[in-house]
Amino acid sequence: MALGEFDLIDRFFRRPSRRSDVLLGVGDDAALLEPPAGRALVAATDTLVEGRHFLHGAPGRSVGHQALAVNLSDLAAMGADPAWALLSLSLPEVREDWLEDFALGFHVLADTHGVELVGGDTVRGPLVVTVEVLGFVEPALALRRSGAQPGDVLFVSGSPGEAAAGLEMLRRGGSMDSDDPLVLRYLYAQPRLELGRALRGRASAAMDVSDGLLGDLGKLCAASGVCARIDLAELPVSDRLLAAHGREASERLVLLGGDDYELLFTLSAAEADRGQAELRRDFPITRIGEIEAGRGVLCERDGLVVQVAGGGYDHFA
């Protein structure tokens, strides 16, 4: 934490420790942590850049939430229990109200999932936020992208596309203070940690949808060396989305929209028969297709393969 400006960390981010596995938190050169015996450490990091991953003028509370949520979503996709976070914040200036809001958004989500901020760095620069989250999972139960097999059944959680619809509303001039459910879904999307835990040792493959279902599914298929066949009629299109955009545009939002932090996962046919009902009782999940031998992702409508224009979000495309 050599570059840290300690007053900022102290003032906005240092709080009494709540986890007994934090031996030394914010304030030294590094944090000292006590991982549990026998579990693998899970580590993820994601960076958000103003104007690219969040809008110029986005509320601090939302940015603080998103910066942690995008990382927690990665841990959910591994079936992991999150524990600790590190925060690197590059700020053009010290705006106390914005920082207080940011810290609130970060801490509310952290508290919800028992995560403690144990270190960080604040520097002057363009508004860029990087968070690293650490957690645990039994190595044999960890969810990976690479385990999908022909014959597996493909599921997605929740209502992907809603966050993209909310973002669209904001881009068209909607208020950041709006309490429209789609706007709130974009500003404060919730990572699916409970579902990730429930899938441990059960799903053959999993990943989170953050860059768009179609593009992310393509990555899962590439990692597993398989092909996915999606039935567009099975896509979960929420009533809200349908009311706002109609069927066709909604489908595109579901397939291509990002920032929902939903989980995409596969179950073996046997596991789907056995566990699907139980999972459905606790989580909003939808069967959207199957895995087969081959490469890539096929979208079907009425039994015919159709082309979906666009694809995943590529930062350097």
Site for a second copy in 22-81 (CB under 8 A): 23-24, 27-35, 37, 40-49, 52-53, 70-71, 73-75, 77-78, 80
CB distance 125 to 92 below 8 Å:
yes
Measured from the CB atom, the residue of 44 and 253 that comes closer to a second copy is 44
Instruction: Give the binding range for a second copy (CB under 8 A) out of 102-110, 134-142, 166-174, 292-300.
Output: 134-142
Residue 97 interacts with a second copy (CB under 8 A): yes or no: no
Terminal alpha carbon distance of the chain? 33
Q: Hey, which residues between 182 and 211 contact a second copy (CB under 8 A)?
A: 206-208, 210-211
State the CB neighbour count (10 A cutoff) for residue 30: 11
Query: Amino acid identity of 160?
Result: P
Least distance CB 32 / a second copy (angstroms)? 5
Measured from the CB atom, the residue of 31 and 244 that comes closer to a second copy is 31
- Binding a second copy (rule: CB under 8 A), the pick from 19, 55, 108, 121 is 121
- Binding a second copy (rule: CB under 8 A), the pick from 104, 108, 223, 298 is 223
> Burial, 265: exposed, middle or buried (Cβ in 10 Å; 0-12, 13-18, 19+)?
buried
CB distance 155 to 265 below 8 Å:
yes
Helix (H, G, I), strand (E, B), or coil: what is residue 95?
coil
Measured from the CB atom, the residue of 84 and 232 that comes closer to a second copy is 84
Q: Hey, which residues between 254 and 273 contact a second copy (CB under 8 A)?
A: 261
Copy the structure tokens of residue 255. Answer: 């397939």
Q: Hey, which residues between 146 and 185 contact a second copy (CB under 8 A)?
A: 146
- Residues near 198 by Cβ (< 8 Å), separated by ≥ 6? 279, 282, 283
Residue 225 interacts with a second copy (CB under 8 A): yes or no: no
Q: What are phi and psi of 85, to 5 degrees?
A: -135, 150
Q: Under rule CB under 8 A, how many of the chain's residues touch a second copy?
A: 77
